[in-house]
Amino acid sequence: SQLGGPQFKAHYCQRQSKVIQDRITEIENHLSQLCDTSSSYTRKTARLRDKGDLLAKQLMEYAEYEKWNPSLSAGMLKFAENVSAVQDYREAQVKRLEGKIISPLMHYGLLCKQTKNDLKSSFAAIERELVQKKKLETTKAKNPADRSKIAQLENDLQKASIESSRSSKSLEQQVDKFEEKKLKDLKKMMRDFVMIEMHFHAKALELYTQCCQTLESVDSDSDLEEFRHQLRPNGSIRSDIARSASQASLESRQNSTGSSTPRNKPLPQKQATPTPTNSRKRIVPPAPSELEDDSDEEDDDEDESEEDSDEDYTETEKTEPPPKKR
């Protein structure tokens, strides 16, 4: 019965240590995966922050370029400022994730390794106890009369048993603290994760709401009118030149039409001194030319008509005999 007690105790401690070791190993694996995933999540968030900053920068550059649409330019500038502010909150989100999630999980990796090293010390103490027990049993079986050696082995076994018990109890307390700390820390980490995400999304929702209000203030019709106004000066000069040319042409035609009317009237004949019918040549005035719609043809016909009339009139004056003196 004296040997059965330590044997049972050693077997129980060994089994208990094995269960604890397996559990800590599994916890370490799961927390390591959780740490890797959280780190990846944080890195993705940091990349998204960088892309958001780039988007805000490009929006600001375009807002500074877009001078022909002042309403859109002002709206895009305010929109870019809100997007940039969202990235500031995202930066705070990244830092909080790193400080409150990733760092504790990385610390648990070291804590698990330390606990497993303590388990090895506990296993070593249990092994020493089992070795001393076997030596005592062997000595009692071979040399039952050697009381001094048996007493020495029993004393060594007792010390090994005490050391194993102390190590097992210390390990049990340490594992208990590890489990308690793990529960509190995981609960805190999950709560911190949720609070970090809620805080970011609340601020982001507020800023994105301002973005929507800013977009509502953009007056597309006013910007379109401004764009047309910016394009109008060049087109206006050309249209004014064309309008002036057309007006000048119209006035020229009207003046031509008004000045050609008297030309179509027959020229007045000079009153000559009466002469005998036989010796006087009759002067026949040229027939008035008809007015036509085309002003250019009108001018040519009138000029020809005037020249003919002048020639006839001059010829008549030359052939007419001088009047007789009374």
With cut-offs at 50, 70 and 90, classify the pLDDT of residue 30.
very high
- What spatial distance separates the first Cα and last Cα of the chain, rounded to whole Å? 196
Distances (CA, A) of 87 to 64, 74, 213, 235, 308: 21, 20, 19, 45, 95
What local confidence, expressed as pLDDT, does residue 256 receive? 67
What local confidence, expressed as pLDDT, does residue 36 receive? 95
With cut-offs at 50, 70 and 90, classify the pLDDT of residue 314.
very low
Give the mean pLDDT of 56-84: 91
Give the mean pLDDT of 215-244: 73
Give the mean pLDDT of 4-31: 74
Highest average pLDDT, of 104-118, 175-189, 228-242, comes from 175-189
Domains of the chain: 19-224 (1.20.1270.60)
C-alpha 44/C-alpha 41 separation (Å) is 5
* Main-chain dihedrals φ then ψ at residue 127, nearest 5 degrees: -65, -40
What local confidence, expressed as pLDDT, does residue 93 receive? 96
Check pLDDT > 80 for residue 311. Answer: no
With cut-offs at 50, 70 and 90, classify the pLDDT of residue 244.
low
Which residue bears the tokens 């007792």? Answer: 158
C-alpha 287/C-alpha 281 separation (Å) is 18
C-alpha 224/C-alpha 71 separation (Å) is 10
With cut-offs at 50, 70 and 90, classify the pLDDT of residue 319.
very low
The least confident of 14-23, 85-94, 218-227, 245-254 is 245-254
What local confidence, expressed as pLDDT, does residue 232 receive? 74
Check pLDDT > 80 for residue 43. Answer: yes
- Residues 209-222 as b or e (16 or more Cβ within 10 Å = b): eebeebeeebbeee
pTM here is 0.60
The pLDDT mean for the chain works out to 76
With cut-offs at 50, 70 and 90, classify the pLDDT of residue 225.
confident
C-alpha 249/C-alpha 55 separation (Å) is 57
What local confidence, expressed as pLDDT, does residue 102 receive? 94
Percent of the chain surpassing pLDDT 90: 31
User: 319 or 215: which carries more pLDDT confidence?
Assistant: 215
Check pLDDT > 50 for residue 31. Answer: yes
Give the mean pLDDT of 162-178: 81
C-alpha 157/C-alpha 87 separation (Å) is 67
What local confidence, expressed as pLDDT, does residue 91 receive? 96
What local confidence, expressed as pLDDT, does residue 70 receive? 86
What local confidence, expressed as pLDDT, does residue 135 receive? 80
Mapped to the 3 state alphabet, what secondary structure does the chain carry?
CCCHHHHHHHHHHHHHHHHHHHHHHHHHHHHHHHHHHHHHHHHHHHHHHHHHHHHHHHHHHHHHHCCCCHHHHHHHHHHHHHHHHHHHHHHHHHHHHHHHHHHHHHHHHHHHHHHHHHHHHHHHHHHHHHHHHHHHHHHHHHCCCCHHHHHHHHHHHHHHHHHHHHHHHHHHHHHHHHHHHHHHHHHHHHHHHHHHHHHHHHHHHHHHHHHHHHHHCCCHHHHHHHHHHHHHHHHHHHHHHHHHHHHHHHHHHHHHHHHHHHHCCCCCCCCCCCCCCCCCCCCCCCCCCCCCCCHHHHHHHHHHHHHHHHHHHHHHHHHCCCCCCC
Check pLDDT > 70 for residue 240. Answer: no
With cut-offs at 50, 70 and 90, classify the pLDDT of residue 242.
low
